[in-house]
Amino acid sequence: MRIIAGRWRGRALVSPPGLATRPTSDRARQAIFDQLWHAPWAGRDMLEGATVLDAFAGTGAMGLEALSRGAARSFFMEQDRAALAALRANITACKAGDACRVMAGDVTAPPIAAAACTLVFLDPPYGKGLVPRALAALQAKGWIAPSALIIAETGRDEEAEILPGYELISVREHGAARLSALRRAPDCGDAAS
C-alpha cells in the first residue's frame, strides 16, 4: 500500500497484521481521488486547502493521500489499537505530524469538534449500518461543515441510508466496495455550539 500521488507519491504505508483493519485498496483510493479531482461536484479547489476527517481511519491512507494532494490538515478517528499504531507510524513516515491530529475512540461517540471538516471519509466495517450513525454523531458534535463532501465506503450490497440534510451525488462500485459521495446541505445546522 502506497501514497498514490502528490508530494508523498510512492511512500509506502504500513497496515496492522490481521483482519481487523481493511484498508481501502490503492486502486479504489486512486478512483476516489480521480473522481474528487475531476467531478463537477468536487474539483481541485475543493481538495486543496481542505480540512479532512478520516473517520474509521485504519492506516490513515485516505487522510494522508488528501494531505499529499494539497489538503491543509487531517483529523483521524480510530479505536483499534493495532490500527492506531500503524496510523501513527504512517504519519511519522510522511513527516506529516504538524498537519495531523489522531483521536483514539469510537466514531459514533466522537468528541466535540476541533474543526468543521469540509471533506469527510467514512470507511466503517461493512454490514453494520455505521455510516448513518457516524454521520449523525459527527454532525451533532460539529465535525461536518455545511456543504461538506462525504465519501462513504460500504459493502457492495449495502444500501446507503441518506440522512435528512444530505444529498447522494454519486455511487460507484469497486470490487467488494460501494463508494457513495454525499453533500451536506449548506444550511444544515449543528447541535454542537
Q: Is the pTM above the cut of 0.85? A: yes
| Minimum mean pLDDT range among 13-27, 43-57, 91-105, 157-171 | 13-27
Identify the pLDDT of residue 192: 43
Identify the pLDDT of residue 193: 36
- How far is Cα 138 from Cα 122, in angstroms, rounded to an integer? 11
Identify the pLDDT of residue 136: 95
**Residue 20 confidence class, pLDDT cut points 50, 70, 90:** low
Q: Of 107, 122, 117, 120, nearest to 152 (Cα)?
A: 122
Query: What pLDDT digit, counting tens, does each position of 115-165 carry?
Result: 999 999 999 988 898 999 999 999 999 999 999 999 999 888 887 778 889
Are 62 and 38 in contact, with CB atoms under 8 Å apart?
no
Residues 6+ apart with CB under 8 A from 176: 126, 155, 156
Strands of the sheet containing 144-155, edge to edge, are 100-104, 73-78, 51-55, 117-122, 144-155, 177-184, 166-174
Q: Grid coordinates standing for 110?
A: 466522537
Kindly state the average pLDDT of the residues 34-45.
Answer: 87
CATH 3.30.360.10 is the classification of domain 26-184? no
Domain locations in the chain as residue ranges: 26-184
Sign of the CA dihedral with 175 first, then 28, 22, and 151 last: negative
Q: Of all residues in the chain, what percent carry a pLDDT higher than 90?
A: 62
Q: Of 47, 12, 36, nearest to 26 (Cα)?
A: 12
Identify the pLDDT of residue 161: 76
Identify the pLDDT of residue 191: 46
Residue 86 has pLDDT above 90, yes or no: yes
Mean pLDDT of the chain: 89
Measured in Å, how far apart are the chain's first and last C-alpha atoms? 39
Query: What pLDDT digit, counting tens, does each position of 45-55 carry?
Result: 889 999 999 99
**Residue 189 confidence class, pLDDT cut points 50, 70, 90:** low
